[in-house]
Structures are given as structure tokens and as C-alpha cells.
Amino acid sequence: MAQKLRLHGIPMSSCAARSMICLHEKGVEFELVLVDFFVAVEHKQPPFLSKNPFGQIPVLEDGNLTLFESRAINEYVSNKFKDQGTDLIRHDSLEESALVKVWAEVESHQFHPAIYPIFYQHLLAPLYGKSSNQAIIDEHLEKLRMVLDVYEDRLGQTKYLAGDFYSLADLHHMPMMFYFMKTPWGHVVNERPRVKAWWEDISSRDAFKKVAGGMTIGDK
């Protein structure tokens, strides 16, 4: 019997959530190993640092293999379990697979750098006893608007970012989008009808619903 995968992280973490969504999409059983992030600060202690020297979650253990970085974990899971669950990287089409990679790179290099500082300043900074910096939020809202304008155009051509199929390119957006919609600036999404419809579509998926309940940052 195959050994169950072990994912080290916490449900509220956007990065851990990204990999949890992928695992659910693929129908892969896994054990979530909770990391004490706030009291024991386990992710900065030697046992955890031996798994990820950068001290970040999540970490995936598959037998003797240890992986970190959620996007890399997701690609591994999608390849290893390619014959079950949702085909998130389009194994049977070189062109579609290439487009998944393109739009996954867009998420990583365009979308995430624009949206993460808003998430950090509005939702994370208060958890660490820091004040939000509205100037940083405003600057990155402008950057996010430009990215979402590109998405609005793209989604007029295809149902999802890489094509008329759901893929890692869409999935990787979900944790940050979810948290962003908790902020006062959700209208930036809602003002763009195709982006709004895309978000409502992907956030209705069962795999995401299984994870969203644990994403409690910003809840009162």
C-alpha cells in the first residue's frame, strides 16, 4: 500500500491552501501535519529547517522525497497522479500544456507581486501588531488593476486563463483571490465582469470549498 503524502502547514496559509486545493482536485489522500506558526514558531526551528531551509510552508513529504514551494509541489502532484482527478496540466496536449505554463508564470510573476502586498498590509500586518501602510496598498491596487485588465481581455477569448479548461493556471490564483475578496477592494474584481464570473466559477469548485473554511485570516 502506498504511503500517504504528508503536507506540513496550516490551513490559513495561502501557500499551504494552494497545495491542499491541488491535492483535493487530484483526489489524493494526504495527512496535514500542523505547524505551530505563532507560539512555538516551529517553521524556524531546526527540525523544520531540515525540510525547508527557508523556513516557509508548505512542505510535502512523499516517502524519501521532500519538496517545498507550493507551485512546485502542485506540479509534482499533478504529474505523479496524472491518471486520477482533474487534469491540471493537460498531459495529452503539448499546446495546452504550454499555455498552462504561460499563465501559471503570469500568476507567479505578475498577479502575485501585485496582490500579495495588499493582502499583507491589510490582513497580515495587524496579526503581527503592525499598522497597515495605505500608500503601499494604493500602489499595488494600481498594479493589480492593470493585471486584471489583461485577464478581462483574456477571459473574453477563453473560459479559463489557459483555455476552455480549468488548470493550475487558475488554481494558483485562488488563495490570494479569496483573501483579497475579504478586503474593502473586492470591487476591483467585481468591476470586471469576466474576471468576476471566472472567480465565481473557480471558487465554486468542491476542492476549493474543502479548503476555504480553514482560511480564516481576516475573519472577525
pLDDT digits (tens, 9 = 90+) for 133-181: 999 999 999 999 999 999 999 999 999 999 999 999 999 999 999 999 9
In a domain, 16, yes or no: yes
pTM above 0.75, yes or no: yes
Residue 218 near residue 15, CB atoms below 8 Å: no
Structural domain containing residue 102: 94-205
Task: Measure the CA–CA gap between 26 and 32, rounded to whole angstroms.
Answer: 16
Structural domain tally of the chain? 2
Residue at a domain's end among 25, 50, 80: 80
Residue-wise pLDDT for 3-40, tens only, equals 799 999 999 999 999 999 999 999 999 999 999 877 77
Average pLDDT, the chain: 95
In a domain, 214, yes or no: no
User: Once rounded to an integer, what is the mean pLDDT over residues 65-78?
Assistant: 98
Core vs surface per residue 183-214: b (16+ CB within 10 A) or e: bebeebbeebebbbebbeebeebebbeebbee
State residue 91's pLDDT score: 95
Q: Does residue 43 have a pLDDT over 60?
A: yes
State residue 145's pLDDT score: 98
In a domain, 68, yes or no: yes
